[in-house]
């Protein structure tokens, strides 16, 4: 493989947290687990990142004796290095279980896709497609399955194919794909997403660009009794029969995706998109309510960068339905801040960062106003394209030109007191000893900083622009 108040009812961006049913608060005691316990309940919701047991968001869960559900069906199989039981890297899952010390043990492993159905269109650049009325974004992190003629290449997909898409639902309903697989048999059209346009009289609603019709024989499970538009804003799973000519799905089942949510978990990590921000450090990833404290560690970003649409993971203790975060990690490692110096088509440069090119594509949030930003001060989140290019995932207009410049990325080389990041040579000799910081924002000094830095280390540099030159003032290790 290659690699709105209504939001209180939303569930989509994290998908499967509802499967935490029955997972209560566990142990207490000394400091090993995220909640300060040596043992207790544990769970993670996100993508599969490896096997040999199962890794979710990079965390290993032992799977001996764990029950497995794949797309709502029980699978009598134990996940191991030798048998993946139909699971694949990039699929979205929720694992619930326990931890003891540094080990985690799965009780359940539950997989579910975001949409399964007919490919209706594919963008010429291959960066998006429409599957059963749902816009699906594809990027370099999306794993494309090797089987059924795809051969790990999205370019082998054609209109009329059937696919299964795993991924995270953005606040606007777009699916950010983590895994795409072509299907040739056993297709049951289904979609998970936000209900809009509900009309109880006609028995209809929409999910993205898909019309859904339900009737007296449709199983609506634990959905509220239809009345007016009372389903709007809910995140649901729908299965049924797809009529491609009218982009309509006749539902055989409609059910909410947030049934049986466990309110307490000693150790819980959730990955997805920020759907709501109530105050600094008080936000939602999907429908998981996350709050930070003075001791929360922010990795790869700062609290003021938590905005709707940002992709994050948060880890901590879930109590009474609120995740108190010990760690918050930003998933776009490259960060730039400064004044836009030049714009050439869909690419631009930033004053003081010579040679760095930032590229905007159809997935870039805020990128549609690029032509109006020449000379503006911007904050860019993105990922590496090449050694000195950045593919922007988000652009934030910070207003008029300013002298502040930020450069965050992996170190490419260390020569004496100079660091090279994105091919920009950073002269750290202008930084005072008490402006070198470690991972926990504590001052560590120049010597300790350079003892920790090596090729590949994520570092954030801050400086001031004068003319075309940046004088660097702060250096910080990131994770």
Return mean pLDDT, the chain.
86
Determine contact, residues 464/471, Cβ cutoff 8 Å.
Answer: yes
Looking at residue 332, what is its pLDDT?
74
Q: What is the pLDDT of residue 139?
A: 82
pLDDT at 34 over 90: no
pLDDT band at 340; cut points 50, 70, 90: very high
pLDDT tens column, 38-76: 899 999 999 999 998 999 999 999 999 899 988 878 999
- The predicted model scores a pTM of 0.76
Amino acid 292: pLDDT? 97
pLDDT at 262: 65
Q: What pLDDT, on a 0 to 100 scale, did the predictor assign at position 4? A: 33
164 or 371: which carries more pLDDT confidence? 164
Tell me what the mean pLDDT of segment 157-184 comes to.
92
Q: Which of 136, 284, 316 is nearest to 208 (CA)?
A: 136
Q: Is the pLDDT of residue 376 over 90?
A: yes
Arithmetic mean of pLDDT, 421-442:
92
Asked whether residue 90 carries a pLDDT value surpassing 70, the answer given is yes
Q: Residue range 2-17: average pLDDT?
A: 37
Q: Which of 132, 243, 137 has its CA nearest to residue 180?
A: 137
What pLDDT is stored for residue 50 in this prediction? 92
Q: Does residue 2 register a pLDDT over 60?
A: no
Tally of CA atoms within 13 A in the half-sphere of 186 that contains its CB: 4
Q: Are 149 and 156 in contact (CB under 8 A)?
A: yes
pLDDT of residue 82: 81
Predicted confidence (pLDDT) per residue in 379-404, tens digit: 999 888 777 889 898 899 999 999 99
pLDDT band at 26, cuts 50/70/90? very low
Residue-level pLDDT at 5:
32
Give the model's pLDDT for residue 7. 35
Q: Which of 6-10, 242-246, 319-323 has the lowest mean pLDDT?
A: 6-10
The residue ranking higher by pLDDT, 13 or 126, is 126
HEC secondary structure over the chain: CCCCCHHHHCCHHHCCHHHHCCCCCCCCCCCCCCCCCCEEEEEEEEEEEEECCEEECCEEEECCCCEEEECCEEECCCCCCCCCCCCCCCCEEEEEEEEECCEEEEEEEEECCCEEEEEEEECCCCCEEEECCEEEECCCCCEECCCCCCCCCHHHCCCCCEEEEEEEECCCCCEEEEEEEEECCCCCCEEEEECEEEECCCCEEEECCEEEECCCCCECCCCCCCCCCCCCCCEEEEEEEEEHHHCEEEEEEEEECCCCCCCCEEEEEEEEEEEEEEECCEEEECCEEEECCCCCEEECCCHHHCCCCCEEEEEEEEECCEEEEEEEEECCCEEEEEEEEEEECCEEEECCCCCCEEECCCCCECHHHHHHCCCCEEEEEEEEEECCEEEEEEEEECCCCCCEEEEEEEEEEEECCEEEECCEEEEHHHCCHHHEECCCCCECHHHHHHHHCCCCCEEEEEEEEECCEEEEEEEEECC
What does the alpha-carbon distance between residue 150 and residue 156 come to, in Å, rounded to a whole number?
Answer: 5
Instruction: Specify the pLDDT at position 245.
Output: 67
């Amino acid at each position: 493989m290659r690699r709105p108040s209504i939001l209180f009812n939303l569930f989509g961006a994290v998908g499967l947290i509802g499967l935490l049913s029955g997972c209560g608060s566990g142990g207490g005691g000394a400091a090993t687990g995220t909640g300060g316990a040596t043992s207790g309940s544990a769970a993670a919701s996100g993508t599969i990142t490896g096997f040999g047991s199962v890794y979710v968001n990079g965390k290993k869960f032992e799977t001996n004796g764990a029950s497995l559900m794949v797309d709502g069906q029980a699978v009598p199989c134990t996940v191991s290095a030798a048998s993946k039981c139909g699971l694949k890297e990039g699929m979205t899952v929720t694992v619930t279980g326990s931890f003891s010390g540094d080990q985690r043990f799965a009780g359940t492993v539950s997989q579910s896709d975001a949409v399964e159905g007919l490919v209706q269109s594919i963008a010429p650049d291959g960066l998006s497609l429409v599957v059963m009325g749902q816009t699906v974004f594809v990027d370099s992190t999306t794993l494309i399955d090797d089987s059924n003629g795809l051969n790990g290449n999205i370019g082998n997909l054609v209109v009329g194919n059937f696919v299964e898409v795993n991924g995270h639902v953005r606040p606007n309903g777009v699916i950010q794909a983590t895994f795409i697989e072509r299907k040739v048999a056993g297709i049951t059209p289904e979609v998970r997403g936000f209900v809009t346009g509900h009309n109880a009289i006609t028995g209809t609603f929409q999910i993205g660009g898909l019309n859904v019709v339900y009737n007296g024989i449709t199983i609506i499970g634990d959905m509220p009794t239809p009345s007016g538009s009372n389903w709007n804003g809910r995140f649901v799973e729908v299965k049924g029969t797809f009529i491609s000519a009218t982009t309509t799905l006749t539902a055989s089942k409609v059910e909410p995706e947030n049934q049986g949510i466990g309110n307490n978990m000693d150790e819980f990590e959730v990955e997805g998109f920020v759907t709501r921000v109530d105050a600094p450090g008080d936000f939602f990833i999907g429908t998981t309510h996350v709050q930070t404290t003075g001791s929360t560690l922010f990795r790869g970003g700062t609290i003021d960068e938590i905005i709707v649409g940002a992709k994050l993971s948060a880890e901590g203790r879930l109590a009474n339905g609120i995740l108190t975060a010990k760690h918050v990690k930003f998933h776009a490692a490259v960060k730039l801040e400064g004044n836009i110096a030049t714009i050439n088509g869909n690419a631009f440069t930033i004053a003081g960062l010579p040679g760095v090119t930032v590229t905007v594509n159809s997935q870039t949030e805020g990128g549609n106003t690029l032509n109006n930003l020449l000379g503006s001060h911007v904050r860019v989140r993105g990922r590496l394209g090449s050694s000195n290019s950045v593919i922007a995932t988000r652009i934030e207009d910070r207003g008029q030109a300013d002298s502040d410049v930020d450069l965050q990325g992996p170190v490419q080389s260390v020569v004496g007191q100079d660091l090279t990041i994105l091919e920009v040579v950073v002269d750290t000799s202008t930084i005072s000893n008490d402006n070198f910081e470690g991972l926990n924002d504590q001052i560590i000094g120049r010597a300790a900083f350079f003892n920790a830095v090596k090729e590949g280390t994520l570092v954030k540099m801050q400086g001031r622009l004068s003319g075309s030159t940046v004088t660097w003032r702060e250096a910080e290790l990131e994770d």
